[in-house]
Amino acid sequence: MIRAWLICAGLCLAAASSVAQTPAASEPAAAPAAAPAAPRAWSSMSPQQQQLLHGYQDQWDSLSPERQQALARGSQRWLTMTPAQRSSAQQRFAQWRAMPPEQRQQLRQRWQQFKAMPPEQQQRVRESFNRFRQMPPERRMELRRQWRQMTPEQRHRGIQRASPPPRRSLR
């Protein structure tokens, strides 16, 4: 279990409070590697979306198409959330905004590293993180303390030991 946790910790420790999972609406969204997004007309959104995004109305046409699409998707997602989900998201937004810019950048980089992993490895990290979250708080605190006391080299070696060896083709 520690081996799996070390993989997770390398990617998720800074996000232990679940902050990394939902970037703030005011932060730029990472654009997918697909074709460039087409500009989105303000009038193409529902009245509820327009109400949520009213602060962007005056500058909407000057936003990049990717940003417009991200805001439109986010507002649509918000409208489908339950009140409990909205409350949780608001707490994560507040935590995100309270972070120093360097920490936000580090979390964005870790998220990109995670997204670059093969799906099987992403699933192992998710399972490891879920096991970590289900541990008693005292055990989580102890593992975090141990992690913080490790040197960067020790952390790297631990993650390398915990990572499965790369698959080799049998050609």
Placement of tokens 């070696």 in the chain: 157
The Cα–Cα gap between 155 and 162 comes to: 10
Reported as a pLDDT band with limits 50, 70 and 90, residue 137 is very high
Contact 29, 66 (CB under 8 A): yes
* Cβ neighbourhood burial of 50 (10 Å; 0-12, 13-18, 19+): middle
Q: Decide if pLDDT at 69 tops 90.
A: yes
Contact 63, 71 (CB under 8 A): yes
| Cβ neighbours around 148 below 10 Å, total | 9
Closest CA to 25 of 83, 66, 67: 67
Residue 170 belongs to a domain: no
pLDDT at 112 over 80: yes
The parent domain of residue 100 ranges over: 2-24+40-162
Confidence (pLDDT) at 156? 81
> Residue 119: inside a domain, yes or no?
yes
Taking only the tens place, the pLDDT of each residue in 83-104 is 999 999 999 999 999 999 999 9
Q: Quote the pLDDT of residue 31.
A: 45
Average pLDDT over residues 60-75: 93
pLDDT band at 115 (very low <50, low <70, confident <90, very high): very high
Question: With a threshold of 0.95, does the pTM exceed it?
Answer: no
pLDDT at residue 82 tops 80: yes
Domain assignment present for residue 47? The answer is yes
Whether the pLDDT of residue 132 is over 60: the answer is: yes
| Residue type (1 letter), 68 | Q
Question: Would you say residue 92 lies in a domain?
Answer: yes
Is the pLDDT reported for residue 169 higher than 90?
no
Q: What share of the chain has pLDDT > 90, as a percent? A: 59
Give the count of domains, the chain. Answer: 1
Mean pLDDT across 104-118: 94
Degrees (nearest 5) of the Cα angle 103, 109, 115?
A: 135
Which is more confident, 118 or 9? 118
Torsional sign, CA 110, 116, 121, 123: positive
29 found inside a domain: no
The SS3 call for residue 35 is coil
Instruction: Give the residue with greater pLDDT, 164 vs 59.
Output: 59
What is the per-residue pLDDT for 158? Answer: 77
In a domain, 93, yes or no: yes
Domain annotation covers residue 140: yes
CB neighbour list of residue 163: distance below 8 Å, 6 or more residues apart: 7
Query: Would residue 19 count as lying in a domain?
Result: yes
